[in-house]
Chain A
Amino acid sequence: MDDALVQTLIIGLSNGLIYALVALGYTLVYGIIELINFAHGDVFMLSSMLALSLFLGIGLTSETPLFMAILIIIIVLVVVMAVMATINISIERVAYRPLRNAPKVAPLISAIGMSFVLQNLGLLWMGPAVQGFENVIPNVNVLTTVLGLDTGISITYKQLFVAVVTIPLLIGLTWFVANTRQGKAMRATAQDPNTAGLMGINVDRTIALTFLLGGALAGAAGVVQILFNNATVYTLGFRFGLNAFTSAVLGGIGNLSGAVLGGIVLGLVNAFSDRYLSAQWTNAIVFGVLIAILVFRPTGLLGQQLADRA
Chain B
Amino acid sequence: MTAGRPTVQELGGPRLPPPGFGGWLQHVSEVASRWPAAYRHALATRRRRTIALTLVVAALLVYPLVNRFALAGFSRNVFPLPLPDDTIMVFMLIFAAMALGLNIVIGFAGLLDLGYVAFYALGAYTAAFLASPHWGALGFDIHILTTVSSAVPGIHLPFWIVVWIAAVVAATFGALLGAPTLRLRGDYLAIVTLGFGEIVPIVFKNLVNVNFELGPIKLENANLTGGPLGINPIDPPTLFGVRFGAASGIAPVYLAMVIVLLCIVIARNLERSRMGRAWMAIREDELAAEMMGVNTVRTKLLAFALGASFAGFAGALQASYQGATTSDFFKFATSILVVLMIIVGGMGNIWGALVGALALVYVDKALLPYISQRVQDVGESIGWQELADFNVASLNFLIFGVILVAMMRLRPEGLLPSRQRAAELHHAPPTEALGAEALLEPEAVTLEQEVSADLEAAAGAEADRDTPSGGAGTDHRDRQGPS
Residues of the A chain whose Cβ atoms lie less than 8 Å from the Cβ of B5: none
Nearest chain B residue, comparing its CB with the CB of A254: B480
Bound together, the chains give a CA A289 to CA B83 distance in angstroms of 46
Q: Are A113 and B437 in contact (CB-based, < 8 A)?
A: no
CA distance A281 to B198 in the complex (A): 11
> Smallest distance from the beta carbon of B111 to chain A beta carbons, Å?
10
- Write the chain B residue with the least CB distance to A239: B198
Q: How far is the CA of A190 from the CA of B477 in the complex (A)?
A: 10
Cβ-defined contact, A109 with B339, below 8 A: yes
Q: Which residues does chain B contribute within 8 Å of A121, judged by CB atoms? A: 398
Q: Is B255 an interface position by the 8 A CB rule?
A: no
Main secondary structure of the interface of A (DSSP, over half): helix
Chain B residue, CB-CB nearest to A280: B206
Q: Is the Cβ of B471 less than 8 Å from the Cβ of A101? A: no
Given contacts A191-B479, A193-B435, A287-B199, contact A36 B404 (CB under 8 A): no
Residues of A within 8 A of B434 (CB): 33, 100-101, 193-194, 203
Minimal Cβ-Cβ distance residue in A for B402: A117
* Contact pick for A295, options B192, B438, B440, CB 8 Å: B192
Known: A109-B408, A283-B198. A116 touches B401 (CB 8 A): yes
Hey, what's the 0/1 contact readout for B441-483 against A, CB within 8 Å counting as 1? 0000000000000000000000010010111101011111111
From the candidates B343, B425, B437, name the one contacting A100 in the complex (CB within 8 A).
Answer: B437
Is B164 positioned at the interface, with any CB of A under 8 Å from its CB?
no
Kindly name the residue among A103, A110, A113, A255 whose own CB sees the greatest number of chain B CB atoms within 10 A.
Answer: A113
> How many residues on A have C-beta within 8 angstroms of the other chain's C-beta atoms?
78
Contacts of B183 in A (CB 8 A): 295, 298, 307, 310
Q: Does any Cβ of B come within 8 Å of A94's Cβ?
A: yes
- By a CB distance below 8 angstroms, the chain A residues around B474 are 305, 308
A109 to B401, CA, bound (A): 10
Known: A103-B424, A105-B186, A290-B191. A255 touches B482 (CB 8 A): yes
B187 touches A36 (CB 8 A): yes
Interface-facing stretch out of A8-16, A24-32, A55-63, A161-169: A24-32
Nearest Cβ on chain B to A111's Cβ, whole angstroms? 9
Is A187 touching B435 in the complex (CB atoms < 8 A)? Answer: no
- The A87-122 residues at the B interface (CB cut-off 8 A) are 94-95, 98-110, 112-117, 119-121
Alpha-carbon separation in the docked complex, A293 to B330 (Å): 25
Asked if B480 contacts A113 (CB within 8 A), the reply is no
Tell me the bound Cα distance from A123 to B398 in angstroms: 10
Number of A-B contacts (CB under 8 A): 223
Bound complex: CA A203 to CA B438 (Å) = 11
Q: A121-B398, A304-B480 are in contact. Are A204 and B440 (CB under 8 A)?
A: yes
Whether the Cβ atoms of A102 and B199 lie closer than 8 Å is no
Report yes or no: B479 in contact with A36, Cβ–Cβ below 8 A: no
A31 touches which of B206, B395, B482 (Cβ 8 Å)? B482
Q: Is B224 an interface residue (CB 8 A)?
A: no
Q: How far is the CA of A119 from the CA of B394 in the complex (A)?
A: 12
Q: Tell me which residues across on chain B come within 8 A of A298, comparing CB atoms.
A: 183-184, 188
- What residue in chain A is nearest B201 (Cβ atoms)? A284
Chain B residues contacting A103 (CB-CB under 8 Å) are 424-425, 428-429, 432-433
Docked complex Cα distance between A99 and B477 (Å): 19
Interface status of B305 (Cβ within 8 A of chain A): no
Contact flags A276-310 to B (C-beta < 8 A → 1, else 0): 00101101100110110011001000011111111
* Chain A residues positioned under 8 Å from B206 (CB to CB): 278, 280-281, 284
CB contact under 8 A between A109 and B435, given known A103-B428, A192-B478, A255-B482: no
27 contacts between A and B (CB under 8 A): A33-B434, A35-B187, A36-B191, A98-B409, A100-B434, A108-B186, A109-B339, A109-B408, A112-B114, A112-B401, A119-B401, A123-B394, A124-B398, A177-B482, A186-B481, A187-B483, A190-B481, A191-B478, A284-B202, A287-B198, A288-B199, A294-B188, A294-B191, A294-B192, A303-B480, A305-B471, A305-B472
- Chain B residues close to A by CB (< 8 Å): 112, 114, 180-181, 183-188, 190-192, 194-196, 198-199, 202-203, 205-206, 332-333, 336, 339, 343, 394-395, 397-398, 400-405, 408-409, 412, 424-425, 428-429, 432-440, 464, 467, 469-472, 474, 476-483
